[in-house]
Structures are given as C-alpha cells and as structure tokens.
Chains A and B, each alone.
Chain A
Amino acid sequence: MSGAVPAQLADVTVEQATISSRFARQAKLFPWLLFGPTILYLLVLSIFPLIYSLGVSLYDYTLGGDATFVGLQNYRDLLTDSVFWRKTWTTLQITIFAVGIELALGLVCALVLNRRLPGIGVIRLIIYLPMMMSPLVIGYFWKFILDGSFGVLNYLISFLGIPPQQWTIDLTLAKASIVLVDVWQWTPFVILILLAGLQSVPPQIYEAATLDRASIWMQFTRITLPYLTTPILLALLFRTIDTFKIFDIVYVVTAGGPGDLTETLSVFAFYEGFKFSQLGRAAAISWLVVIVINILATVLIKLLARQRSKAVLDEEGAVA
C-alpha cells in the first residue's frame, strides 16, 4: 500500500513531462505561424514598395513616357528650389498652429468636461464623433460652411458685426481655414486622451491638497499637469505626425490654393505625380516627407519613453 503512492506520483510526473516536452516541440514551430504571414505580407506590401519608390525617385520618370536614370538629380533639384522649401514651411506652419491650438483647446475642453454632470457621458461621446469621420467628408462640411457667398459662417459672424469673408480664397484666411478644419476634427482626440489622464488622478490627492489649502492654480500645476504629461506627449506625437501628412482636408477645402499658398508637401507630391505626371519627382518628395516624419517621430517617441520611465520610477518611489 505504502509503495503505491510514490508510483502514482511518478506516473503523473512522467505524464506531465511528456505533455510539456510535446508542448515544447510544437511551441518551436508555432511562432512561425504567428509571425510568418504578417511579416511576409508587410514585407511585400510595405518594404518592397518603399524600396521601389526609392528606385523611382532616382529616375526622370514621366507617367506614360520614358524613364531616364538621373541619380540624385530629383533630390538636388528639390532641395535647391525655393518652391520646395516654401511648401515645407507651409506644412510646418499648418502643423504648428493646428497642433498647438488642438492641445490648448483640448486641455480647456477636457477640464470642463471632466466634471461629473448628468448626461456628461453622452455629451462626451457626441464630441468624440468628428475624429471617427472621413477627413474628406469633413472637408466638404466645412467648405460648404466657409463658402464666401452662401456659407453659414459668414451669416453667423454678421451678428458679431464682422463683415463677410472669403475664407478659402483670401490670402491670409486660407491657411487659417485649413487649421480650423483640422482643429475641429482632431481636438476631440486630444480631449479623449487628456480626459483619460485626468481621470487617472486619484481624487484623494485633491482632497488632501484642499485640506492643505493649496490654491486651485497650485493644484493644477502640481497635481493635474504631472498626470497629464504622458497623455499630452502622446497627443503631440500622433497629431504632429498626422498633421504633417495632411492631404484630404487641404485637397477639398482649398485644393492648395489660392495659388499654391496652402499646398502642403503631400498635396505637392500628389500634384507632381498625378497632375504633372512627374513620378520620379513625386517619389523624391515623398521620400523627403518620410525622412522628416522619421525624425519627428524619433524625437517625440524618445521624449515619451523618457517620460514613461520617469513616471514608473516616481510610482515606485511613492510605493517605497
């Protein structure tokens, strides 16, 4: 009797050992199934096209015409052309203004909407809707609203005593119109991210601060803002990259005009390639865009990573 128990145990262990060795054997092949198809797919449809595009950018490649190898000529032409730099500046201007306003307005709105009120959940959800919609459709909404002769915006501002404006045609207002539309669509995204940050602040901290008679401003700068650093950086990362690539809204609202005043780099590359059939030049512009976006993304992701590791250290410090 007494010898039977160890024997049974031994059986179980042997069984477990065969199970885990069989599992280990199969687990060696399993990752191929998990990673293989995706890697293969993305190699074929993202890396290969990018390399192909790099090749095209080295040619004087006319759509439907000849392709002559010209080396770095396309890049040299672009980088020495003031037109390219002006359009780069336009893109940066729109990005800086749009993202700056989105962050500031988003912060204010998030603070307003952070209060517990009846119906606030539904209101927040409605406010989030623009970011889910097609930028092209939103461009159309606003082109109609901004129209100089029958647009409703001119009618609304007439109550403030402001004369009607040619929003999308005026030399100074056209860029502002693009910024306005981007702000309308993407401030909700900033609100969403910042509200999540605000809700991660433990309410006891505010209670303690109130007991310590910390002013509202002190509470905001010492408690609220530190909790918002990571969300703000994340919003900055996504918005900067996306606005730098802006195409749809510009294409619909101003088509890059008046003249080429609102032509961003994406619109520029599109026109070069598919309006003037200069595919080599278009590929070169788009590669320059990729390089700039890489630099922007690397810097912002580094900042974000540093902030995150700092946040983890702070938390560990608090626990200790």
Chain B
Amino acid sequence: MARKTPTFEEALAQLETIAEQIERGEIGLEESIARYEQGMALVQQCRDILTRAELKIQQLQERADGTPELTPMTPPPESS
C-alpha cells in the first residue's frame, strides 16, 4: 500500500503550519506565495481524496500457508 499521500489529519496539520508561517510574516512575500500555492495544492489533494466517489471493497481470506489473500469484492445485492 502506497503510504505517500499524507493522511487527512497530516494534511490539515501541514496546512496549519503553512498558514502560521505566512501569518507570522517571518518568510518573504515570494516565499509566502510559494507556500500558499503548496497549501492550495494540498487542499486540492485532500479534496480529491475525500470526493472519491466509489468505495474500495476487498475480501480478506487466509491461504492454507497462513498468508493473507485479498480479492476485490462487489457489494452484495441490497437485501432490504
């Protein structure tokens, strides 16, 4: 599993940090704008994750040798 994308919490924390850096005015205007753009990209990334439309469902089984086996699964039909 690729763990490259930050979790939602991590992303929010990063956004906080960037906002603080800009608010404190310790970094220059150019740098601030660069950070701002970085932050906006992060926002977009989070939004993309959050607005993923389809649930990813997998079924877990154990093979005879005790290793896990994941198979994609479609939701069972509605049993109302």
Please say whether chains A and B are actual partners in one complex. no
Residues of A within 8 A of B (CB): none
